[in-house]
Structure 1
């Protein structure tokens, strides 16, 4: 990646982290944001630094093997699962991890999100799984996250929060916001005591339609 491209990507990561906070998806200093920086490295937000105080130069460059050059800030504690996702999913170009309130509530209840609404398909499958609990920053959490994301672009993390990835930072943030919206709607629905889940056949139709959604072709 050329220096100018990397500088622009660092700026975009900072802007995405601040937008994540402004949208209420990750209060205080929680959550983290990353993006691929060429084929063998990622750029990721540093550990424990408030987003408003973050500058592009604070973003940490980490190799896909976990190596990083000296003199940088300490990367996010969740770097292991970011790296694991990038290694497992070549199509992932950017990742947003946040502790958004509704998604985190469901995650703490260890509840997946079923197909109560067709927009669940936005995450890539007929439901949004909840990865089993593991201590933050561990390889166990990384393994659990990758498994929960099989065939999906987003999942909940038990007793923790949510993670979403996309082809760019904007799409990853948009998906994280959609997961939060769906989580809030599902929580409201649970209060009513009755959930009508769309069947597999209907969700298969929806997923097929989603493949062409937003694609503008010739008329």
Structure 2
């Protein structure tokens, strides 16, 4: 059986980057990738320090949520699986507990597309999913519903989730979201941020997907 060592090492390094970038603290947050064959996800194990995770500890989980190998998976494995099942375009999921993401999530409000970067990278504003207890099916369902076809979502009173075609893409989106939410909080402190028109959002998103860098 394929031991998916490349995917495991990739997620381990990404976890360290997430921790050292201030996108989470302690053992909070989690990351996963879908294996190339589409049969499994590789996800960070529950309660293990990101600096101490080894490939043998990494959790390999099938698409029904059954642990195939490694340690007990993150409590949010169901949330990751829910996204993968609804989004064929998604091959990586990052759940963060970064400062501005958590601050806005605590307000339980949606964030309109107030910056060009949000339109281009996220696909518009960022919705906040209805509250659900950590690790619950309710949270997983609420997350997938609020995410829709966009690349980021907030979890009420919890944190954020960003998705991508691969881990590099998901990390780029994660960083754009945190900076955008920092800017949004600062803008709220001095005035009322003005949302972009839908037609401009759609134009920028289409340009980014189909023309940018090509």
TM-score where L is the length of structure 1: 0.93
What per-residue deviation string (whole Å, max 9, x for no partner) do you get for residues 30-55 of structure 1? 10010112222111000010101111
What's 1:196 paired with?
A: 194
Once the two structures are TM-superposed, the CA of residue 67 in structure 1 deviates from its matched residue by: 1.1
Partner-residue secondary structure (3-state), 1:116:
coil
1:73 aligns with 71
Taking the TM superposition and a 5 Å limit, the aligned residue runs for 1:1-219 are 2-3=2-3, 6-37=4-35, 38-69=37-68, 72-216=70-214
* Aligned-partner Cα distance in 1 for 2:31–2:8: 11
Task: For residue 213 of structure 1, report the CA deviation from its aligned partner.
Answer: 4.6
Moved over 4 A (4+): none
Contact 1:97/1:164, CA 8 A, preserved across alignment: yes
Check the 8 A contact 1:154/1:163 in 2, yes or no: yes
Question: TM-score normalised to the size of structure 2?
Answer: 0.95
TM-superposition CA deviations, 1:186-217 (whole Å, max 9, x none): 0000001221211112112212211225442x
Unaligned ranges ≥5, structure 2: none
